[in-house]
């Protein structure tokens, strides 16, 4: 009996010690299929290898920058790691809201010994001349459409998105100027190479809004990445802009009657920033080293069709972990999908985001 009681006391003490040492890492991401891919590729393997750590997901999406700014300015930082676009990361870095990243000290080298600073895609660790951003994926915002809505000819070009006569039905667009302004100008005949030059002028901005006016009455505006695939699945819209990985999930995993429209997909970067003032900096560095290594970035591509941001990860992209589908043809970078591509100028957006967002919101309110 004494031995049994002694064993119980020891077990309880171990459990209490484990509980006392348990550590939550508050990680912000975008929700839906994207967060699910991170959970499977990064979070679960890390928590399994580090029993005292719990990754707590917070799906803030595009609202992450505002939340970060509010926390840092108040001196009450609760977030430990934030997933955001390159343009938002530049703003956060310029405002001193996030930590500077020493890539070769913080991040794992490639399996062949190539340092992280040389293994991540050229220029992506120093977007906009900053050093606060750790890229994870190359993704695109493109279009999906209901295959059962249009009889006969299916939409195949960006111009078709703006053609309500040939392709009637509701559209879903993100409730922000990014992508919409560029697409409007291209659909109106502006060469892609001149889009940002044109958007830097009042005339160009007015031209973009005039083109968006042609479909405005038929637009359903979305604010979270999970919304456009659901709007398509529910038949509430005929065509929707969406992140390519979310459309992959709807088409391949959920077997929805949806097809991809890749014309003038907008390439962008997404990755991690570390909030200035996190109380768990050492733990964040350890997690970040794991979650952005060659294998983990390749593993994420087993669950969602985003391209890993490391050269050494590309060759490891294979089949979907659960469905057995070859992932390469579903990547935005596949040659068949990337015949016409707009490279998002995240430096330009970092400089013009506030101004154009104000103008966009004013246009929406008309």
Report the DSSP pairing between strands 134-146 and 258-273: antiparallel
Q: 27 pairs with which residues across the strands?
A: 57, 81
Rounded CA separation 268/245 (Å): 13
Q: How confident is the model at residue 328 (pLDDT cuts 50, 70, 90)?
A: confident
7, pLDDT greater than 60: no
Residue 314's pLDDT is: 85
Give the rounded distance of the alpha carbon of 360 from its chain centre.
22
Contact 279/81 with Cβ under 8 angstroms?
Answer: no
**pLDDT number for residue 21:** 61
67 pLDDT higher than 80:
yes
Q: What pLDDT does 16 receive?
A: 40
- Work out the pLDDT band at 144, boundaries 50, 70, 90: very high
What integer pLDDT is reported at residue 173 of this predicted model?
A: 98
Asked whether the CA dihedral 126, 31, 310, 306 is positive or negative, the reply is negative
CATH topology of domain 2-138+269-330: D-Maltodextrin-Binding Protein; domain 2 (3.40.190)
Q: Determine the pLDDT at residue 19.
A: 42
For residue 62, pLDDT over 50 is answered with yes
Cα radius of gyration (the chain): 22
- The residue behind tokens 């920058």 is 65
> Any idea which residue has 């604010």 for tokens?
223
Q: Lowest-pLDDT range, 17-21, 42-46, 75-79, 216-220?
A: 17-21
91 near 350, Cβ under 8 Å?
yes
pLDDT band, very low/low/confident/very high, at 2 (cuts 50, 70, 90): low
User: What is the number of residues in the chain?
Assistant: 366
Q: Tell me which CATH code domain 139-268+337-365 carries.
A: 3.40.190.10
Pairing relation of β-strands 341-343 and 258-273? parallel
Q: Is the pLDDT of residue 268 over 80?
A: yes
pLDDT at 320: 93
Q: Do domains 2-138+269-330 and 139-268+337-365 have the same CATH topology?
A: yes
What is the per-residue pLDDT for 231? Answer: 98
pLDDT exceeding 70 applies to what percent of the chain?
94
pTM score: 0.78
**Range with the lowest mean pLDDT among 12-21, 43-52, 243-252, 319-328?**
12-21
pLDDT score of 3: 57
Provide the pLDDT for residue 333.
83
Indicate if the pLDDT at residue 208 is higher than 80: yes
Tokens of 140: 């695109």
State the DSSP H helix or E strand holding residue 12, giving kind and residue range, or none if neither.
helix 2-21
What is the pLDDT averaged over residues 232-249? 96
Query: In this predicted model, what pLDDT tens digit does every residue of 8-19 receive, in sequence order?
Result: 444 444 444 444
Please state the domain extents for the chain: 2-138+269-330, 139-268+337-365
Cβ contact 82:278 at 8 Å: no
| For residue 121, pLDDT beyond 60 | yes
* pLDDT exceeds cutoff 50 at 72: yes
> For residue 123, what pLDDT band results from cuts at 50, 70 and 90?
confident
């Amino acid at each position: 009996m004494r031995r049994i009681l002694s064993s119980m006391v020891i077990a309880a003490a171990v459990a209490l010690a484990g509980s006392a040492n348990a550590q939550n890492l508050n990680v912000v991401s975008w929700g839906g299929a994207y967060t699910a891919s991170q959970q499977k590729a990064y979070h679960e393997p890390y928590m399994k290898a580090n029993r005292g750590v719990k990754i707590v997901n917070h799906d803030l999406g595009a609202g992450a920058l505002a939340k970060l700014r509010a926390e840092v300015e108040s001196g009450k930082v609760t977030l430990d790691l934030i997933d955001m676009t390159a343009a938002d990361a530049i703003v956060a870095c310029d405002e001193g809201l996030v930590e500077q990243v020493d890539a070769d000290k913080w991040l794992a080298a490639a399996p062949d010994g190539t340092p992280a600073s040389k293994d991540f895609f050229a220029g992506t660790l120093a977007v906009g001349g900053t050093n606060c951003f750790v890229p994870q994926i190359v993704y695109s915002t493109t279009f999906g459409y209901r295959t059962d809505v249009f009889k006969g000819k299916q939409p195949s070009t960006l111009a078709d998105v703006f053609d309500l006569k040939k392709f009637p039905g509701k559209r879903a667009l993100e409730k922000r100027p990014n992508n919409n302004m560029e697409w409007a100008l291209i659909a109106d005949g502006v060469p892609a190479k001149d889009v940002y030059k044109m958007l830097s002028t009042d005339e160009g901005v007015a031209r973009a809004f005039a083109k968006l006016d042609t479909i405005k009455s038929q637009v359903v505006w979305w604010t979270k990445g999970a919304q456009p695939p659901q709007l398509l699945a529910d038949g509430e819209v005929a065509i929707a802009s969406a992140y390519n990985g979310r459309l992959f999930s709807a088409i391949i995993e959920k077997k929805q009657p949806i097809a991809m429209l890749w014309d003038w997909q907008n390439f962008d970067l997404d990755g991690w920033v570390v909030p200035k003032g996190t109380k768990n900096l050492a733990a964040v560095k350890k997690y970040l080293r794991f979650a952005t290594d060659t294998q983990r970035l390749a593993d994420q591509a087993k669950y969602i069709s985003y391209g890993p941001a490391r050269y050494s990860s590309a060759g490891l992209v294979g089949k979907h972990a659960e469905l057995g589908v070859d992932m390469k043809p579903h990547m935005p970078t596949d040659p068949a999908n990337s015949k016409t591509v707009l490279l998002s100028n995240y430096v330009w957006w970092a400089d013009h985001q506030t101004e154009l967002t104000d103008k966009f919101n004013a246009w929406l309110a008309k």
